[in-house]
């Protein structure tokens, strides 16, 4: 069975459940303490309808998670976002305003505020998560060096407001599982995660083996990008090709930054 298909994703979730983990949206992990929990975070970078299909399948398994949507999806797909929210999933803003406004923090904050207001007309939104914007020189959460998101009644920023010395961060960025250290920005430097995931890359099956052997962290945030998980052959191949090219471009950008 190919990795990055729905059966493999739900095998991972079933393995976590069998090992005694509670699966939940980020808001629950932010507001409560659990001895053994995995928060499911979905950054919807592209193809929001794939996110809706994943949300439907999670609901069939009595699982709720968090879906972060970009500005373009908030403006152009409000009904789809409302549909996912109606299933009980948490909705948040996947912001990229500083990159979009080319580093102009004041203009970016106005755009952020306007987009958040539009999202809150669709559904309740408590959390935010920056988009990596790998081909921009601006890091989006640097917007908060000048402005404050707490004044907007935002409860958490996914990169900034969790204790990653106690919570492991594991992402499928790059089309493999890792702590994100090979990514340009979708990473949270944490020795805590690397204690459990010393290798740079893991398959989903390898994660399941760690879980079954009780070699997995007690508290985890899993970042899953819905567009990467495809059951149909052609979309699966296209995503594999596209991500392979993107990974090489990121390596080139990383090399140029170091010069």
Residue 150 reports pLDDT greater than 60? yes
CATH of 6-258, one of 3.20.20, 1.10.10, 1.10.150, 3.90.320: 3.20.20
Over residues 78-84, mean pLDDT: 98
Cα angle 75, 183, 242; round to 5:
65
DSSP, collapsed to helix, strand or coil, labels residue 60 as: helix
Residue 194 reports pLDDT greater than 90? no
Confidence of residue 233 (pLDDT cuts 50, 70, 90): confident
Confidence of residue 186 (pLDDT cuts 50, 70, 90): low
Of 45-49, 110-114, 148-152, 248-252, the poorest mean pLDDT is in 248-252
Of 49-58, 112-121, 194-203, 206-215, the poorest mean pLDDT is in 194-203
Q: Which residues contact 73 (CB under 8 A, 6 or more apart)?
A: 44, 48, 80, 81
Report yes or no: 40 and 222 within 8 Å, Cβ to Cβ.
Answer: yes
Residue 259 reports pLDDT greater than 60? no
Domain extents for the chain? 6-258
> What mean pLDDT, rounded, does the chain reach?
91
Distances (CA, A) of 55 to 28, 159, 178, 186, 249: 17, 23, 23, 22, 31
Report yes or no: 98 and 105 within 8 Å, Cβ to Cβ.
Answer: yes
Cα angle 40, 247, 42; round to 5:
15
- Dmax (CA) for the chain in angstroms is 50
Report yes or no: 224 and 40 within 8 Å, Cβ to Cβ.
Answer: yes
Tell me the C-alpha distance between 119 and 81, whole Å.
Answer: 9
């Amino acid at each position: 069975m190919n990795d990055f298909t729905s059966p493999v994703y739900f095998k991972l979730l079933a393995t976590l459940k069998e090992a005694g983990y509670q699966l939940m949206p980020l808001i629950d992990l932010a507001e409560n303490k659990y001895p053994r929990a995995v928060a499911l975070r979905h950054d919807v970078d592209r193809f929001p309808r794939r996110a809706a299909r994943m949300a439907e399948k999670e609901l069939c398994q009595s699982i709720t998670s968090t879906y972060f949507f970009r500005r373009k999806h908030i403006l152009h797909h409000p009904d789809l976002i409302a549909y996912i929210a109606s299933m009980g999933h948490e909705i948040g803003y996947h912001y990229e305003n500083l990159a979009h406004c080319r580093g102009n923090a004041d203009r970016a904050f106005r755009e952020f505020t306007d987009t958040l207001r539009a999202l809150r007309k669709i559904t309740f939104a408590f959390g935010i998560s920056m988009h990596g914007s790998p081909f921009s020189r601006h890091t989006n959460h640097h917007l908060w060096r000048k402005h404050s998101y707490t004044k907007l009644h935002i409860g958490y920023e996914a990169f900034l407001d969790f204790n990653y010395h106690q919570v492991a961060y594991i992402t499928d960025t790059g089309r493999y599982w890792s702590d994100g250290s090979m990514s340009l920005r979708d990473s949270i430097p944490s020795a805590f995660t690397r204690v459990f995931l010393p290798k740079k890359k893991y398959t989903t099956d390898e994660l399941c083996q760690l879980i079954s052997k009780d070699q997995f962290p007690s508290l985890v945030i899993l970042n899953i990008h819905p567009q990467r998980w495809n059951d149909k052959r052609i979309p699966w191949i296209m995503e594999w090709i596209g991500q392979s090219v993107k990974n090489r471009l990121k390596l080139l950008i990383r090399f140029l930054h170091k010069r």
